[in-house]
Amino acid sequence: MSNQAGQAYAFMAITPILEGEEKKLRAYLDGFTQETSPFAGLPATHFARWVILPDWVDDPSQPRQDHLGSEYLIFTSNFDGPLGSYLDELCRRPEAQEIWSHCVGAPKPATGHLLKAYLLHNHIDTGFFVAAYPDASVEKVRASLALRERLSAFAVRSQGMDPATLQSAFNAEFGG
Amino acid sequence: MTGRGPERIDYADIQGDILRAYGNDYERTSYMLAHIEHAPGGRAWLGSLLGQVTNAEQWTGPKPETTLNVALTYAGLQALGVPDSVLATFSDEFREGMAARSQILGDIGESAPARWEAPLGTDRAHLLVTINALTTELLEEKLKTFRAGVQEAEGVTIVHEQHAQLLAGVREHFGYADGFAQPAIAGVTPHRTLGGGVPEKEDKWRGLALGEFILGYEDEDSLVDPLHRPPDAPAEPLGRSGTYMIYRKLSQDVALFRKTLRDAARLYEDGDEEKLAAKVAGRWRNGTPLISSPDAPDPSFNPKDLRGNAFRYLDTDADGARCPLGAHIRRANPRDALGWKGLDDSGLLSYRHRIIRRGMPYGPPLPVEATDAGGGEDRVDRGLIFVCFNASISRQFEGIQTQWINDGNALHLGHDKDFLLGDSTTTDKMTIQGSPPFFLSPQPAFVTTRGGEYLFVPGHAALHFLAGAADRRAA
C-alpha cells in the first residue's frame, strides 16, 4: 500500500449514488469546462477526476449476470500533500457539496468537516502509486516550465551575439 | 513464428494506386469531387464508373494511358443510401470527418476549416474520383468523357476540382525529392524491406502486415494474437479490401520558405543554406539522407535505389548530430529513433504508425530567379495534395500528425513542432543539435491547410455493392 510518492498523495473515494440521482449528477459534471473546473481552485492538484460507474460490463460467458447494487461515484486526485489540508479545501468548494449531495449517506449539507469525514470513511487505499514529480509541487513544475520557456526564447533570440553582448543580455534577462 | 502460410491476397479486389504508386509514372493527376443529390442517381453513376476503376493486379501489357479510382466520405456513403447499421461500423474519426478533428490536427488559425475551400470539410463533399494520366492531352480527353458522364447522371454535380502534376525531378515545391520512401509490406513489396520495414535486432528488417494498410487482412496485432483475428473493419462486404484515405490540400508559400532559410543561414555555418535546408528535412534536397551523408549531398544519389533508404538512427546518430532529432523525416517515421529501453527490436514505438503516401504537387513551380531578387510573392497558389492510405486513421495518420509532427513531447523536444508542417500559431523553435546547437526561430506559416477530407476507399466487390444497393432495395 502506498498512498504517497514523495510529497505527492493519491486519494480515492468510492460512494454509491442515490437512486434516481445519476442523471442529475452526470449532467452537472458534464457542465464543467476547463475554465470552470473546480480543480482550478485547488492549485495543489496534479491530476484529478470524478467518474460515474453505472454498472459492471456484462460478461456473457459467466453463468449468472453480475450487477452493481447502484451506480457509484469514483473520485481520484493526485495532489501535493498532506491529505488533511487538501480535503479541507476541497470540502469548502460549493461544487463538492453539489456533487456529493447526490450520494448515499452524505451529510446534509455535504460540506465542511462532515463531508471530509464522509470522504475519509469511503477512502480506498492505493496499492501502488508513482508520481512523475515526487518532489516537485504543482507550483514548482509550473515555475520550472515557465523558466524553461524563457531560457529557450532567450537562446533563440541571442543566437549570434558576441560574448559581451550575450553576457549583458543574459544578465538583463535572468538578473545574474 | 506461427507456422502458417501467408494469407492469399486478393489483388483483383483491392483498388489500384494504394499498394503501388501511379503518381510517379503519371505526369498528371486530377481529383474530382462530386456531390450526390439523389441516391439512385448517384448509385447509377457510380455503377457506370466501375468498369474503369483499376485494381492492384500487376499490369501485363503497357501501363494504361489513364487510371481512375474512387473514394467516399462518410456523407458520401450516407448520400448513396448505405443503411445506418452499416454506417455505424466505420471508425469514429472517419464518421466525424477531418474538419471535426481540426484542433488535434493543428488545422487552426489560417488553416482552420472555416477558411477551407468549399466544399472541403462540409457534408457536401461526397465522392472523390482520382484520375491519373500519362500526358496532359490524355488527361483532357479523359476529363471530357468523365464530365459528360456526370452531365448524364441524375443528381450528381462536380463541386470541386483539383489538378496536380509532377514537378521536374519528382520534387515538391520547396525543392525536396519526395514520396519515394514508403512502408514495406510483407508479401507485397519485399524489395522495400530494408529501410521501409520494421527495424529489428542485428540490422535486420521485416515487412509490415498487409492489414496495416488494407482492411480485412491480418495486421500487426493479429500476428501476436493466438486466434489471428483481423482488426476491426466496416461491415461486409465494405470492410473487405478497403482502406481509409486522407486527402489534404496543403498550400506552400515558397517565397517565404526560401527567405526564411536564407535569413537564418546568415548565422549558420557561413551561410550554408543548403545544409540548413537538409537539417530541416533530414535529407538533402536530392533525397540523400543526412544519416549517410552528413556533410554534403551525394550527387549520384538515386531515390529509386532503395539501398539508400536502409538507414536507422540510434546506431550512428542517437544525439541528432547528423540528422536533428526534430527533422521532418525523423519525426514522420522515426524508425528506431524512439528506442524502447534498450531493446534491440527498437521499431516497437513507431511501427504501428506507418502510412502509404501518394502526394502530388499542384500549381506551377516558383522560379529560383523570382526569389533571388528578394520578395518573389507572385500570388499563385501552389502546394501539395497530400494523400495517404492506412487501415486506422486515428492510430496511423492522426498519430503521426498529432504526436510527432504537431508536438515534440514524444521525441523529448518539448513543444517544438515540425518546422515544415507543424502549426505555426505558437512560438516554437527548431533545434539543430551540434556544438553549439543552432536554433531556428519560431516558424512562419510556410504551409497552410486549404481543405481536406477523410475518405473510405472500397474494394471492387464493395463498390459493386454500393452501386447496386438500389436494385436490391427495389426488388
User: Considering only CB atoms, which chain A residues are within 8 Å of B442?
Assistant: 156
Nearest partner of B257 among B116, B463, B381, B419, judged by Cα = B419
Range in A23-27, A42-46, B468-472 with the lowest mean pLDDT = B468-472
Q: What is the pLDDT of residue B1?
A: 37
Taking only the tens place, the pLDDT of each residue in B176-212 is 998 889 999 999 999 999 999 999 888 899 999 999 9
B428-432 long-range contacts, Cβ below 8 Å, gap at least 24?
Answer: B429/A152, B429/A156, B430/B280, B430/B324, B430/B326, B431/B324, B431/B325, B431/B326, B432/B268, B432/B276, B432/B279, B432/B324
Residue B10: inside a domain: no
Nearest partner of B308 among B295, B297, B294, B292, judged by Cα = B292
Q: What is the pLDDT of residue A66?
A: 85
Q: Percentage of residues in chain B with pLDDT exceeding 90?
A: 79
Same domain, B307 and B403: yes
Is pLDDT larger for residue B260 or for residue B371? B260
Nearest partner of B319 among B437, B408, B196, judged by Cα = B437
Cβ pair B208, B220 in contact under 8 A: yes
Residue B15: inside a domain: no
Nearest-angstrom CA–CA distance, B380 and B363: 7
Strands B243-252 vs B383-390: parallel, antiparallel or unpaired: antiparallel
- Amino acid identity of B142? K
* Chain A closest-CA separation from residue B197 CA (Å): 34
Nearest-angstrom CA–CA distance, A129 and B462: 50
Range in A150-159, B119-128, B150-159, B319-328 with the lowest mean pLDDT = A150-159
Check CB contact under 8 Å for A152 and B442.
Answer: no
Please state the rounded mean pLDDT for residues A20-38. 95
pLDDT at A164 over 50: yes
Closest by Cβ to B267, choosing from A148, A155, A160: A160
Closest by Cβ to B429, choosing from A148, A156, A160: A156
Nearest-angstrom CA–CA distance, B176 and A49: 47
Mutate to test the interface with A, among B417, B419, B429 (most CBs of A within 10 A): B429
pLDDT at B284 over 90: yes
* Chain A closest-CA separation from residue B90 CA (Å): 23
CATH code of the region A4-121: 3.30.70
Torsion of CA B96, B102, B105, B111, to 10 degrees: 140
> Using CA of residue B232, residue B238, residue B240, residue B245, what is the dihedral sign?
negative
Taking only the tens place, the pLDDT of each residue in B344-383 is 567 888 999 999 999 999 999 998 877 765 555 788 999 9
Q: What is the pLDDT of residue B290?
A: 98
Please state the rounded mean pLDDT for residues B298-313. 91
Please state the rounded mean pLDDT for residues A68-74. 96
Residue B415: inside a domain: yes
Same domain, B40 and B158: yes
User: Considering only CB atoms, which chain A residues are within 8 Å of B409?
Assistant: none
pLDDT at B307 over 90: no
SS3 labels along B91-156 = CHHHHHCCHHHHHHHCCCHHHCHHHCCCCCCCCCCCEEEEEEECCHHHHHHHHHHHHHHHHHCCCE
Nearest-angstrom CA–CA distance, B449 and B134: 28
C-alpha cell at B220: 500487426
Residue B16: inside a domain: no
User: Considering only CB atoms, which chain A residues are within 8 Å of B427?
Assistant: 153
Taking only the tens place, the pLDDT of each residue in A87-143 is 999 999 999 999 999 999 999 999 999 999 999 999 999 999 999 888 999 999 999
Question: Domain range spanning residue B166?
Answer: 28-179+231-243+455-474
Please state the rounded mean pLDDT for residues B241-257. 96
B459 Cβ contact list (under 8 Å, min separation 6): B10, B13, B14, B15, B216, B237, B240, B241, B242
DSSP three-state, residue B29: strand
Residue B198: inside a domain: yes
Cβ pair B241, B214 in contact under 8 A: yes
Is pLDDT larger for residue B347 or for residue B432? B432
B470 pLDDT band, cuts 50/70/90, is: very low
Mutate to test the interface with A, among B260, B428, B430, B439 (most CBs of A within 10 A): B439
C-alpha cell at A32: 464543467
Instruction: Answer whether A160 touches B (CB < 8 Å).
Output: yes
- Measured between CA atoms, the residue of chain B closest to residue A145 is B414
Mutate to test the interface with B, among A159, A161, A162 (most CBs of B within 10 A): A159
B38 pLDDT band, cuts 50/70/90, is: very high
Q: What is the mean pLDDT of chain A?
A: 94
Helices (H), ranges, B266-408: 273-281, 314-317, 328-332, 368-372, 398-399
Q: Residue B159, Cβ neighbours under 10 Å: how many?
A: 17
Domain count, chain B: 2
Residue B17: inside a domain: no
Q: What is the pLDDT of residue B373?
A: 57
Instruction: Answer whether B427 touches A (CB < 8 Å).
Output: yes
Same domain, B446 and B462: no
Please state the rounded mean pLDDT for residues A30-35. 92
Same domain, B327 and B417: yes
Place of cell 532529432: B325
Please state the rounded mean pLDDT for residues B292-307. 92
Q: DSSP letter at B53?
A: B
Residue B221: inside a domain: no
Q: What is the pLDDT of residue B348?
A: 85
B428 pLDDT band, cuts 50/70/90, is: confident
Same domain, B92 and B70: yes
Same domain, B207 and B302: yes
Nearest partner of B81 among B50, B124, B122, B36, judged by Cα = B36
pLDDT at B471 over 60: no
Q: What is the mean pLDDT of chain B?
A: 92
Same domain, B200 and B150: no
Same domain, B163 and B196: no
User: Considering only CB atoms, which chain A residues are within 8 Å of B429?
Assistant: 152, 156
Q: DSSP letter at A85?
A: H
Q: What is the pLDDT of residue B182?
A: 94
> Using CA of residue B102, residue B108, residue B110, residue B113, what is the dihedral sign?
positive
Q: What is the pLDDT of residue B244?
A: 98
Same domain, B463 and B442: no
Closest by Cβ to A159, choosing from B267, B427, B442: B267
Residue B48: inside a domain: yes
User: Considering only CB atoms, which chain A residues are within 8 Å of B432?
Assistant: none
User: Considering only CB atoms, which chain A residues are within 8 Å of B441?
Assistant: 156
Question: What is each CA distance from B469 to B127, B458, B465, in whole angstroms?
Answer: 16, 14, 6
Q: What is the pLDDT of residue B39?
A: 95
- Measured between CA atoms, the residue of chain A closest to residue B441 is A156
Check CB contact under 8 Å for A159 and B439.
Answer: yes
Same domain, B149 and B270: no
Nearest-angstrom CA–CA distance, B197 and B104: 28
Q: Residue A124, Cβ neighbours under 10 Å: how many?
A: 12
pLDDT at B304 over 50: yes
Check CB contact under 8 Å for B427 and A153.
Answer: yes
B473 pLDDT band, cuts 50/70/90, is: very low
Range in A95-109, B11-25, B29-43, B153-167 with the lowest mean pLDDT = B11-25
Helix axes B136-152 and B39-49, enclosed angle (nearest 10):
150
User: How many residues appear in chain A?
Assistant: 176
Same domain, B112 and B166: yes
Nearest-angstrom CA–CA distance, B408 and B403: 7
Check CB contact under 8 Å for B429 and A152.
Answer: yes
Same domain, B200 and B135: no
pLDDT at B2 over 70: no
Q: What is the pLDDT of residue B306?
A: 85
